[in-house]
Structure 1
Amino acid sequence: MSQLVFATNNKNKIAEIKAQLGDQYTFLSLEDIGCHEDIPETQPTLAGNAEQKARYVKENYGHDCFSEDTGLEVDALGGAPGVITARYAGPERSAEANNAKILAGLEGKSDRTARFRTFLCLIMNGEEHLFEGRCEGRISEAVSNGTDGFGYDPIFIPDDGDGRTFAEMTGEEKRSMSHRARAMTKLQDFLREN
């Protein structure tokens, strides 16, 4: 398989995946295949949403593809935001508002343990395959001054790092330990073997 459709139009996610895949595959986004509508994400789990998006692209556009859904889970917030990570502070999907809501919810709490989880669903040759990537960490006390990354990166400090948030790391540093990169590595291994 030399051509992959990634079922997203999120330019930040596309850039991360392209950087990881390199020149191994011709890489297409939803925009590239003419899909401009919002694909439904109505499942109660991250894995379910990844499957739903991949099936939508396959059924409506006929392409073998992969999709992903990522969630931030904060232990002191009962696992929130979880499946509503992108819309935690409202439907406008504002990263600044989402980060502020997390920090406000953790005010006065000592447990700042959190994790990112990514599920990738690949539909290829009529079969579905699911891959999970995790990154354990904690939520910072305040939004960092880092300028890289997106979403919750300014407040997420990975356990495998050196105390910096994802936003304070280079893209290469983040990819060496991120949830999405770990799920993509499993996908790449599967594609090499098959």
Structure 2
Amino acid sequence: MTSFVFVTGNANKLKEVKAILAAGTSGIEVTSQSVDVPEVQGSTQEVAIAKCSAAAEKLGAACVTEDTALCFEALGGLPGPYIKDFLGKLGHDGLNTLLSGFPTTRATALCTFAYSPGPSQTPILFEGQTEGNIVPPRGPTNFGWDPIFEPLEGEGLTYAEMDGAKKNAISHRYRALEKLRVYLADQAKSA
């Protein structure tokens, strides 16, 4: 049995992570804890490494952090890792307005899980992507930018309009978490 602390205060993220791992019968035990870590600026990879390193030092244990980016093609990848701030300031409609006048609404949902086996150990990154488009908000508005992201594989539905199982089967979070699950399973076999 492998275990780690998932560093999050977001109940929706924790629920998705547990559901995805349970579906894979992974033998991975996940607990969660909210840890206050510095918000650094940089690429998605730089942000993930800094956040996970700080969390591992504070917890003194193996941990996983997750960072999500929403990268608009028309804006050269922005808002990227700053999507939470953009969403907080502009809302769903404002994010749509950012793309007014551009020839594309294409976007990439990017999830980066960083795993640290413990303090003073360099985190390992696992990334997953889902391609889609930014659309006017549809569906429940209780989970970030899900109402405005329509994945190409989503049969015309936004993430918010999908049930949890459907979203989890194609999401950027699933794809990154599956890579982490495989890595941890391989590590457990080697031990």
TM bucket (normalised to shorter chain) is 0.7 to 0.9
Q: After the TM superposition, which parts of structure 1 deviate over 3 Å for at least 4 consecutive aligned residues?
A: none
- Give 1:98 deviation, angstroms: 3.1
Aligned pair partner of 1:131 in 114, 126, 130: 126
Instruction: Answer 1 or 2: higher relative contact order, Cα 8 Å, separation at least 6.
Output: 2
1:28 equivalent to 2:31? Answer yes
Partner of 2:84: 86
TM-score for the superposition, normalised by structure 2: 0.87
Q: Which amino acid aligns with 1:2?
A: T
In the TM superposition, what whole-angstrom CA distance separates every residue of 1:89-125 from its partner, at most 9, and x where no partner exists?
Answer: 5xxx36xx43222111122433111011111111116
Q: Which amino acid aligns with 1:52?
A: A
1:52 equivalent to 2:50? Answer yes
Q: Distance in 1 between matches of 2:142 and 2:104?
A: 24
Q: Does the CA contact (< 8 Å) of 2:7 and 2:63 recur in 1?
A: yes
Q: Which amino acid aligns with 2:95?
A: I
Identity within the alignment, %: 36
- Give 1:127 deviation, angstroms: 4.9
Q: Does the CA contact (< 8 Å) of 1:57 and 1:65 recur in 2?
A: yes
- Give 1:149 deviation, angstroms: 6.4
Q: Which structure 2 segments of 5+ residues have no match?
A: none
Q: Does the CA contact (< 8 Å) of 2:2 and 2:184 recur in 1?
A: no
Q: Does the CA contact (< 8 Å) of 1:148 and 1:171 recur in 2?
A: no
Partner of 1:15: 15
Q: Distance in 1 between matches of 2:77 and 2:94?
A: 14
Partner of 1:150: 143
In the TM superposition, what whole-angstrom CA distance separates every residue of 1:140-161 from its partner, at most 9, and x where no partner exists?
Answer: 1x111x1276111101110112
Q: Which amino acid aligns with 2:13?
A: K
**What is the count of residue pairs matched by the alignment?**
182
